[in-house]
Chains A and B, each alone.
Chain A
């Protein structure tokens, strides 16, 4: 079964510190790896995404590192702030379906990040 394994399950970081969340996948057919941020009672919102032909992507305080040979990718949040406290999900897409294909996302189980002042 296609899976994306995410760790840690929860993370507590001091304000100004670096938050690191790791994911590993099994299926080499995955070709797009987004990270989502979800606040309580809200839907997931896209944070940043990467394709396997790139080893790193940075947007502001958020960086994805991608290791294709190890089938691992990680999210780094620099200068973590209390407002970053949320649940973070890594995901991967697998092209399925006929015709133009689909955008079926396989999600990790999530990491609950708490940034303390």
Chain B
């Protein structure tokens, strides 16, 4: 039962370092979504990607954050020069096509020290 796989599950970075979060969607799913969850908060949409294309990045901060979903390999959410406020759980979801139900991974919990 290969659902959405995210790694690492936990990531600790010092301020100023780079964080790379990986997401392997459900096999056959070509749509990937990234969400961020702050403590005691709901999930906030960050970015929606389809293979090799960014469809909607309206929820992603303009600086330090980037996302990609290459033709081969997992989707990557990259955070450069991390700050304490980036500490959160980052969830990836995938769906087989647009406007269909998306399935969530277990998340990566990023802690910036």
A-contacting residues, B69-89, CB 8 Å: none
CB neighbours (8 Å) of B99 from chain A are 93, 95, 100-103
CB neighbours (8 Å) of B43 from chain A are 44, 89, 105, 107
Q: Which one, A89, A98, A104, contacts B42 given CB within 8 A?
A: A89
A43 on the B face (CB < 8 A): yes
Q: Is the CB of B42 within 8 A of A109?
A: yes
Q: Is the CB of B91 within 8 A of A43?
A: yes
Q: How far is the CB of B52 from chain A (nearest CB, A)?
A: 14
Range of interface residues on B (Cβ < 8 Å): 20 to 34
Q: Is the CB of B98 within 8 A of A100?
A: yes
Q: How far is the CB of A15 from chain B (nearest CB, A)?
A: 26
Count of A residues near B, CB < 8 Å?
A: 30
Roughly how many angstroms separate A44 CA and B84 CA in the complex, as a whole number?
Answer: 24
Q: Is the CB of B48 within 8 A of A103?
A: yes
Find the A residue at minimum CB distance from B46: A104
Q: Is the CB of B58 within 8 A of A96?
A: yes
Q: Is the CB of B56 within 8 A of A96?
A: yes
Chain A interface residues toward B at CB < 8 A? 4, 6, 34, 36, 41-46, 49, 89, 91, 93, 95-110
Chain B interface residues toward A at CB < 8 A? 4, 31, 33, 35, 40-45, 48, 55-56, 58-59, 91, 93, 95, 97-107
